């Protein structure tokens, strides 16, 4: 029976092989490569959270890095001020709740105030500068321009019994992999639920949805808060892999995540990961080869993809189907 399913569904084959390859990755590559992929998977979760609001709800957010950065800072600050064992778990929850709260506040005023489309984007863009300045000014708490570094190392496992140091590339990698799969499944559940249907209908025609009896601003705040929480979670996962500094909330980071989602294919979920990995690896490769010009290449690539494949890599692959690549698929 299983064979039959695999025979009919090349998707299962692809996913199975991909999963095994991802699990085996740290065993066959260096620690550097492992943490690099872990970092890109964290960015993938970040991009996934943007796809939930941009791809599915049509909310344009030019300041999504705020929530990534808020998550990372919340994690770092919690680790610094919570001295007990097992603090990592609380820090992660904190790193989800803080961005969520910012998202709810922002969403409440903007969505209930009927600020939508590009105007919402402009407000979030401006907010990036505001939040970045607040972080730089509050240097006692955040370390200011120098960044935040003197916090306890994040650890997983059961305190006192068995502990895993997240600074180990392998531990970080498997944690991030599990988190990425978890977030992907959660996002999939959300978009396939009736709530997800309504969210997509809001993207199409907000007014029409309201005439059917839905409280549109409330539903927008909810999806926005979920996306902000997920972005914060990815920020928390970034802490063992990178450095907490005001750069995390930069306009560049907000822009590049838009590129990742657009290149991968917005409104597809998996496209967020595909786009992030494709662009990030290319960026790593190009920035080694062309120290100055690499950004130009990435920009040109983004423009080309959006012009030639407006639905991104995944949209393109869906349209032209995997059939030609996998001839064993029936009918």
Binding site for other proteins (CB under 8 A): 190, 193-195, 197-198, 200-201, 203-205, 207-216, 218-219, 222
Phi, psi for residue 328 in degrees, rounded to 5 = -80, -5
First to last CA, the chain: 18
Nearest CB to other proteins, comparing residues 214 and 309: 214
Dihedral sign, Cα of residue 158, residue 171, residue 177, residue 276 = positive
Nearest CB to other proteins, comparing residues 207 and 288: 207
Instruction: List all residues 6 or more positions away from 128 whose beta carbon is below 8 Å from its beta carbon.
Output: 62, 63, 65, 66, 249, 250, 251, 254
Q: Alpha carbon of 100 to those of 107, 194, 218, 250, 262: distances in Å?
A: 10, 22, 14, 19, 24
Nearest CB to other proteins, comparing residues 135 and 216: 216
CA–CA separation, 172 vs 238, rounded Å?
Answer: 9
CB of 200 to other proteins, least distance (A): 6
CB of 73 to other proteins, least distance (A): 29
Residues 227/49, Cβ–Cβ less than 8 Å:
yes
Residue 148 per-residue DSSP state: B
Phi, psi for residue 176 in degrees, rounded to 5 = -65, -40
Nearest CB to other proteins, comparing residues 212 and 308: 212
Nearest CB to other proteins, comparing residues 209 and 257: 209
CA–CA separation, 270 vs 281, rounded Å?
Answer: 17
CB of 35 to other proteins, least distance (A): 35
- E strand spans, the chain: 155-158, 162-165
- The pair of three-digit structure tokens given for residue 256, joined into one six-digit string: 């590049």
Residue 162 per-residue DSSP state: E
C-alpha closest to that of 249 among 111, 128, 156, 146: 128
Nearest CB to other proteins, comparing residues 196 and 240: 196
CB of 203 to other proteins, least distance (A): 8
CB of 156 to other proteins, least distance (A): 29
Nearest CB to other proteins, comparing residues 89 and 195: 195
CB of 189 to other proteins, least distance (A): 9
Residues 274/313, Cβ–Cβ less than 8 Å:
yes
CB of 56 to other proteins, least distance (A): 11
CB of 211 to other proteins, least distance (A): 5
C-alpha closest to that of 307 among 273, 267, 272, 263: 263
Q: How many Cα atoms within 13 Å fall on the side-chain side of residue 192?
A: 8
Nearest CB to other proteins, comparing residues 58 and 264: 58
């Amino acid at each position: 029976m299983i064979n039959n399913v695999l025979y009919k569904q090349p998707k299962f084959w692809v996913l199975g092989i991909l999963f095994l390859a991802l699990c085996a990755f740290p065993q066959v590559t260096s620690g550097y490569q492992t943490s690099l992929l872990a970092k890109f998977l964290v960015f993938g979760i970040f991009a996934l959270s943007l796809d939930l609001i941009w791809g599915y709800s049509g909310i344009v957010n030019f300041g999504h890095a705020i929530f990534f950065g808020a998550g990372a800072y919340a994690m770092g600050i919690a680790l610094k001020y919570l001295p007990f064992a097992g603090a990592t778990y609380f820090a992660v929850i904190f790193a989800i709740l803080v961005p969520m709260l910012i998202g709810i506040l922002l969403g409440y005023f903007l969505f209930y105030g009927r600020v939508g489309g590009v105007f919402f984007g402009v407000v979030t863009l401006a907010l990036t500068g505001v939040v970045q300045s607040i972080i730089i000014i509050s240097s006692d708490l955040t370390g200011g321009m120098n960044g935040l570094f003197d916090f306890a190392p994040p650890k997983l496992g059961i305190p006192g019994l068995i502990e895993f140091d997240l600074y180990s590339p392998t531990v970080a990698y498997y944690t991030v992999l599990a988190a990425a799969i978890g977030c992907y499944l959660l996002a999939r559940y959300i978009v396939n639920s009736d709530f997800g249907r309504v969210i997509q209908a809001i993207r199409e025609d907000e007014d029409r949805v309201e005439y059917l009896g839905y409280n549109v601003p409330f539903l927008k705040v909810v999806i926005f808060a979920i996306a902000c929480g997920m972005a914060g979670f990815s920020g928390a996962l970034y802490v063992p892999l990178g450095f907490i500094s005001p750069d995390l909330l930069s306009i560049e980071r907000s822009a590049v995540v838009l590129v990742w989602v657009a290149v991968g294919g917005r409104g597809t979920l998996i496209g967020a990961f595909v786009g992030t990995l494709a662009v990030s690896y290319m960026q790593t490769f190009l920035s080694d080869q062309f120290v100055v010009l690499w950004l130009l290449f990435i920009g040109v690539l983004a423009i080309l993809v959006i012009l030639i494949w407006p639905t991104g890599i995944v949209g393109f692959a869906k349209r032209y189907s995997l059939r030609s690549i996998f001839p064993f698929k029936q009918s």
